[in-house]
Structure 1
Amino acid sequence: MPLHLVHVVPQDLYPVVEDRSLEIRGNEVLHAAVALAHEEEPDLTVTATLVAGSRVPSILNEIGPRDVVVLSSRGPNELSRIWTGSTTIGVAARAGCPVLVLPSRYDADRPPTGRVTAGLQRPDASEALLEVAFAEASRVGASLLLLHAWRLPSGYDDIITGRTEGDAWAAHMTAKLRDAVAGLRERHPEVPVETRAVHGQPARVLVDAAVGSDRLVIGKPAHGGFVHHLGGTARGVLREATCPVLVVPAHVAEAGTGTDADVSAGASA
């Protein structure tokens, strides 16, 4: 799986900053990143591109439908995290391929825990997410937690919380989860699977459940009027998760999970 590094430098800053100075600095960043990649994986095929322009469209122009984009929300301070966060949200919302987001508190040297968590809003309409989640768990030899979290709007949630209707809904969604993965469990007998339906604020439930996971897999709409949209749950997860989050478009099945996929890592000045 080759690695393509993308670094974006600002455009139209002249005469405050000369374009040549930005180009020199950008190439220094890329050369250091290529050297680090080869230090970690000497046999890895690494290419690099320096782009001048706006971050989100520049990164999107460098990726294809079978790529996996890797971004980091890491920043030395709160302001930089806000800045990188807007880039991360923008790319994750608009990319037509899976986007892997590394959190600011992520420790790359941490040994794997052997657990992948996936959050599903509609189990019967999450084929792409489930395909990718099972493939990820199988690839790293991990177990898979499939989680549906639900909560009604204020004023209505209190009506059923703690009543039999809440228990009935949890049982109903757990059954739908099991039905949705029946075929994939047969295809991936090596992946231990747990299904769970939980009442609570979805982003908080997913973030808490994924603590210690090697991956948290979530989906996003990829059709209709929400093709470039991330909902509040996905945005909350990307802000708060302490493990890597893989955002999967609804139309993607196995893109990015095979050895022929490219990994594009985006960076910006």
Structure 2
Amino acid sequence: MNAISTRGSVVVGVDGTATNRGALRYAVQECRRTGAALELVHVLPDLVAVSPLVPMVPADLTPSGAAVLARAVADVRALGTAVEPTTRLRHGTRAAELLRAAEDARALVVGRDDRPVGYRLVDGDTATRVAARASVPVVEVPPEWRERGVTEPDGGVVVVGVKSPAHAAAVLGQAFAVADVRGARLVVLHAWHLPSAYDDIIEGRVAREQVEREGTAEVQELLHPWLVAYPDVAATVRIVHDRPAHALVAASREADLLVIVRRGHGVPAAVHLGGTARAALRHAACPVMVVPPSQVPDAPPLALEAEGQAMK
């Protein structure tokens, strides 16, 4: 038994563009591993203004939306797996409707928006919007991503970023659960960097070893309950002297999945994601899972408990 919730399906936001190809591949692999159902969701806008005098209403767009879903189903079947998706066509704002569709899901998967920044500023970045507000893990996948771990003996590498103890339980619980399902190695990454360039030079000369030694001990303490709960997961701690965003993006080049937590910033939902999370979503070389801070997967029972032999 693993600690990832068995409820719900893997929901994929489908938009009919090439950016969805990686997302579909990722979602299919997750469904194969976990036995979850796959649901493809396409959102039609309430109104599209072709010109000020010629608006299009949702009824006009329904056949096009159905065609987008049909092509996505064909893409899933072309992957040659036994996963058979269901489809859902919704109307409204894309981010809001995807969040509603995924309320009871195991995870929400979206493709990375690779449009120029000007377009994203005007239309919005769906991945950032849903990751900032979702109550379930959100996974953003690069368009051309293909999984490496399924062909490797050790199941690949999952990297999890840990910044502070405040939200460590949520992100570590999810990362250990994912690594356990995949049979992957887990790298627990903590980056430290002083704000002053002068202090950074001093730190690099006289105290780096001490900081890294103390940081490793602190992270190991956070890991202890999860190492007990997941004895089959090989976890290593990596303390690096770097800016967190740069360290995460660099680590993503060797990873099959990067796991980070969404931190509350006390501001409107549209900007809940901090700069580190936004940088990871934009530049990581692998899929990025953003975990809501309130979600802590239940740890699986210990071996004796699973066999009904726990001490009373």
Assess same fold via TM > 0.5: yes
Q: Could you give the per-residue CA deviations for residues 158-205 of structure 1, whole angstroms, max 9, x where no partner exists?
A: 364313334322222111111111121122221111101111111111
Q: Which one-letter code corresponds to 1:23 in the other structure?
A: T
Residue 116 of structure 2 corresponds to 78
Which has the higher Rg, Structure 1 or Structure 2? 2
Q: Could you give the per-residue CA deviations for residues 83-128 of structure 1, whole angstroms, max 9, x where no partner exists?
A: 7871110000110110011023423578555111000111464111
Q: Which has the higher contact order (CA 8 A, sep 6+)?
A: 1
Distance 1:216 1:85, change over 3 A: farther
CA contact (8 A) 2:149 2:256 kept: no
Q: Which one-letter code corresponds to 1:63 in the other structure?
A: A
Which 5+ residue runs of structure 2 have no aligned equivalent?
A: 1-35, 301-312
Distance 1:129 1:227, change over 3 A: farther
Q: Which one-letter code corresponds to 2:285 in the other structure?
A: T
Alpha-carbon distance in 2 for matches of 1:184, 1:209: 22
**CA drift at 1:79:** 6.1
Residue 239 of structure 1 corresponds to 282
CA contact (8 A) 1:74 1:81 kept: no
Residue 13 of structure 1 corresponds to 48
- Please, what is the CA RMSD of the aligned residues? 2.8
Q: Which of 12, 18, 27 in structure 1 is aligned with 2:66?
A: 27
**CA drift at 1:214:** 1.0
**CA drift at 1:54:** 1.5
The 5 A counterparts of 1:147-226 are 147-155=189-197, 157-158=199-200, 160-221=202-263, 225=266
TM-score in terms of structure 1 length:
0.83
Residue 32 of structure 2 corresponds to none
Distance 1:8 1:124, change over 3 A: closer
Alpha-carbon distance in 1 for matches of 2:107, 2:70: 21
Alpha-carbon distance in 1 for matches of 2:146, 2:113: 11
Percent pairwise identity = 35
Q: Which of 175, 192, 213 in structure 2 is aligned with 1:133?
A: 175
Alpha-carbon distance in 1 for matches of 2:199, 2:144: 33
Alpha-carbon distance in 2 for matches of 1:187, 1:109: 26
SS of 1:162 mapped into structure 2: helix
Q: Could you give the per-residue CA deviations for residues 23-78 of structure 1, whole angstroms, max 9, x where no partner exists?
A: 11111011221233344466435322212222111111211155300001154x53
Structure 1 residue runs of 4 or more that deviate by more than 4 Å after TM superposition: 108-113
Q: Which of 68, 89, 93 in structure 2 is aligned with 1:50?
A: 89
CA contact (8 A) 1:124 1:176 kept: no
Q: Which one-letter code corresponds to 2:263 in the other structure?
A: P
Distance 1:44 1:227, change over 3 A: farther
TM-score in terms of structure 2 length:
0.72
CA contact (8 A) 2:159 2:258 kept: yes
Q: Which one-letter code corresponds to 1:136 in the other structure?
A: V
Which 5+ residue runs of structure 1 have no aligned equivalent?
A: 258-269
